[in-house]
C-alpha cells in the first residue's frame, strides 16, 4: 500500500548527499530525481547528481562515490525497470538490489534503493509522477533520516 508523501521537517544544513539516477525511462526517473533533490535542498543539504545510462549501471557509480567521498551522508539510487516478456528485468532488479546492499555494508554509508522494478507504466505513473506518492521524495526522506541516525551513534 502506498503512503501519501509529506514534506520533511529534517534539517541537515551543509550535509552532502549524492543521487545516482538512470537515464532510461527518463520520464519517470526525472520526476523522482527532481522530487528527491528538492527534498534534500529543502532540508538544507547539498546534492551531487550523477546520471547513468540504465539501472544496471547505478551500483558502480554508487560504489565509486562511497569509496571516494567520505563527506557524503547518503547516496540515493533512482531508476525504473519495467517488466517485459522475458525475465531480464527481474535479473537486472535482483543484481542491482544485491549490489546496492553490498555497497552500503562495505562503506558504512546509507544507500537508498529506489531502483523500482514495476509491472507496467501505470504503476510507474503512480510511484514516480504523482506528487502524493513520489518515491523520489520518499527516498530523500529516508536518506535524511538515516543521516541523522548515523550522526547520533
* Residues labelled as active-site residues: 88
3-state SS of the chain? CCCCCCCCCCCCCCCEEEEEEECCCHHHHHHHHHHHHHHHHHCCCEEEEEEECCHHHHHHHHHHHHHHCCCEEEEEEEEEEECCCCCHHHHHHHHHHHHHHHHHHHHCCCEEEEEEEECCHHHHHHHHHCCCCCHHHHHHHHHHHHHHHHHHC
Amino acid at each position: 500500500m502506498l503512503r501519501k508523501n509529506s514534506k520533511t521537517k529534517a534539517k541537515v544544513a551543509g550535509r552532502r548527499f549524492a543521487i545516482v539516477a538512470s537515464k532510461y525511462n527518463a520520464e519517470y526517473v526525472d520526476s523522482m530525481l527532481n522530487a528527491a533533490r528538492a527534498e534534500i535542498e529543502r532540508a538544507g543539504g547539498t546534492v551531487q547528481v550523477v546520471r547513468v545510462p540504465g539501472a544496471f549501471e547505478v551500483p558502480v557509480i554508487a560504489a565509486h562515490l562511497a569509496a571516494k567521498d567520505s563527506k557524503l551522508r547518503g547516496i540515493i539510487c533512482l531508476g525504473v525497470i519495467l517488466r517485459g516478456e522475458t525475465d531480464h528485468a527481474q535479473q537486472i532488479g535482483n543484481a542491482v538490489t544485491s549490489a546496492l546492499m553490498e555497497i552500503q555494508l562495505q562503506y558504512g554509508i546509507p544507500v537508498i534503493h529506489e531502483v523500482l522494478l514495476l509491472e507496467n507504466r501505470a504503476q510507474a505513473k503512480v510511484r514516480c509522477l504523482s506528487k502524493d506518492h513520489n518515491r523520489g521524495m520518499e527516498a530523500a526522506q529516508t536518506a535524511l533520516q538515516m543521516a541523522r541516525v548515523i550522526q547520533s551513534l
